[in-house]
Amino acid sequence: MPKISERGNIMPESPIRKLVPYAEAAKKRGVKVYHLNIGQPDIPTPPKALEAIKNIDTKVIEYSHSAGNESYRKKIATYYNRLGVALTFNEVLVTTGGSEAIQIAFNATLNPGDEVIMPEPFYTNYNSFALTNGVIIKPITSKIENDFALPAIEEFEKLITPKTKGIIIVNPNNPTGSIYSADELDKIRQLVIKYDLYLYADEVYREFAYDGNKSISVLELEGIEENAIVFDSTSKRYSACGIRVGALISKNKEVISTALKYAQARLSPPGLGQIVGEAAEDTDVQYFKEVYDEYIERRNLVISELNKIEGVYAPMPKGAFYTIIQLPVKDTDRFCQWLLEEFDYEKQTVMLAPASGFYSTPGLGKNEARIAYVLKKEDLKKAVKCLEEALKVYKD
């Protein structure tokens, strides 16, 4: 029998999706599953984006330019111009979701054996993208005791070797909900200049910064214009995960021209997705205000209710719509499976994402889980109640 590739064998499973078969089985048993495991918002997609789907009058759904439709790239550049970033459409490459932006950037800028430094816990697919490119992620651990604040810049510098080619940040952060301050970003900026590194920034959750915190783009940082590479996406900003459209953005012309070679190899990003994404860029400010207010209410509710449960600690996230919580169990991988496979409370249960999959360092996150507060408030309250009742009866 032919063998699977070595890369296939070491490719990690998604901690977000690996429990799906158990959730499906629970639903077949008649159990209601509250999905706090995945960042799939139930917020309506902007009306202008939905109208664009209904009003498509093209006779042929064609390939677009490999970099994406020029009209769409201009809309994205205009969005950044409003943020105070001087950007042109030629510095934007439309991708198949933010995930492809990461893959293409790694391909364009990193060689097998190169190292990148990244605060953990981090979005698990970064490990997957690194593995498929032979890139080594050197994790630097942020801790729940400090509400996942950015580790000291001195800790970053200790990890720099001749093989270090870049630093990756997710800001606002998935999975922790943290946001990096102007001072923290400036310290990273200085390190990037000192060692001439790439700074990769996942800024997908930019619109979701709470309590007066500001989400600052690395494109706003002076002196690293040639070093900064941004990953962006329509998925969360416009609650349109299914259109699979994102963007790779950089003022480094060589990065963009090299990335375009990979974009050409996959021909073009999704045509229909670009139509929806372009229309979404015209979404009015009121939409974002309502979405923002809703997430604030959801966040406050779920954090308050979680912290009432004995043995549970839930930090208050500053942004995005996630947080990592600490649970009074030894192994959340086993616990999260048990929630779906063996437990129900009044024919209901909750699906969480075990946090171990968000750490690169073995053994970390075993008593933690990520939650996404993307459900309506009454469902969030029921989900937390399920968790509370589960912890009363669970045996490690």
69-88 per-position pLDDT tens digit: 999 999 999 999 999 999 99
Q: How confident is the model at residue 15 (pLDDT cuts 50, 70, 90)?
A: low
Answer yes or no: is pLDDT of 163 > 80.
Answer: yes
Residues ≥6 apart with Cβ < 8 Å to 176: 121, 142, 148, 315, 317, 322, 323, 324
Answer yes or no: is pLDDT of 90 > 90.
Answer: yes
Residues ≥6 apart with Cβ < 8 Å to 88: 77
Angle among Cα 11, 14, 20 to the nearest 5 degrees reads: 130
CATH number of 47-280: 3.40.640.10
Residues ≥6 apart with Cβ < 8 Å to 99: 125, 129, 246
Q: Is 230 helix (H, G, I), strand (E, B) or coil?
A: strand
The residue-averaged pLDDT of 305-327 equals 97
Please tell me the pTM assigned to this model.
Answer: 0.95
Task: Express each pLDDT in 48-59 by its tens digit.
Answer: 999 999 999 888
Residues 20-39 as b or e (16 or more Cβ within 10 Å = b): eebbeebeeeebbbbbbbbb
Q: Is 394 or 12 the better-scoring residue by pLDDT?
A: 394
Answer yes or no: is pLDDT of 17 > 80.
Answer: no
Closest to 173 (Cα-Cα) out of 165, 164, 181: 181
CA distance 226 to 162: 20
- Could you give the residue ranges of the DSSP H alpha helices within 17-109? 20-28, 47-54, 70-82, 97-109
CA distance 308 to 277: 40
CA distance 144 to 147: 5
Greatest mean pLDDT among 36-45, 129-138, 224-233 lies in 224-233
* Amino acid at position 24, single letter: E
Contacts 24+ apart (CB under 8 A), 184-192: 184/150, 184/153, 185/216, 185/218, 185/221, 186/221, 187/153, 188/153, 188/156, 189/218, 189/221, 189/222, 189/223, 189/224, 190/153, 191/153, 191/156, 191/157, 191/160, 191/167, 192/167, 192/224, 192/227
* Amino acid at position 43, single letter: I
**Cβ(296)–Cβ(43) below 8 Å:** no
The residue-averaged pLDDT of 249-277 equals 97
Compute φ and ψ for 339, nearest 5 degrees.
-55, -35
What is the model's pLDDT at position 41? Answer: 87
- What mean pLDDT value characterizes the chain? 95
CA distance 53 to 63: 17
What is the model's pLDDT at position 4? Answer: 85
Answer yes or no: is pLDDT of 195 > 80.
Answer: yes
Q: Which residues pair with 72 in a beta bridge?
A: none
Residue 48, Cβ neighbours under 10 Å: how many?
Answer: 17
Place of tokens 């270090």: 164
Structure-block tokens of residue 242: 């299914």
Fold for 6-44+286-393, please state it. Aspartate Aminotransferase, domain 1 (3.90.1150)
Task: Express each pLDDT in 266-310 by its tens digit.
Answer: 999 999 999 999 999 999 999 999 999 999 999 999 999 999 999
Domain boundaries, the chain: 6-44+286-393, 47-280
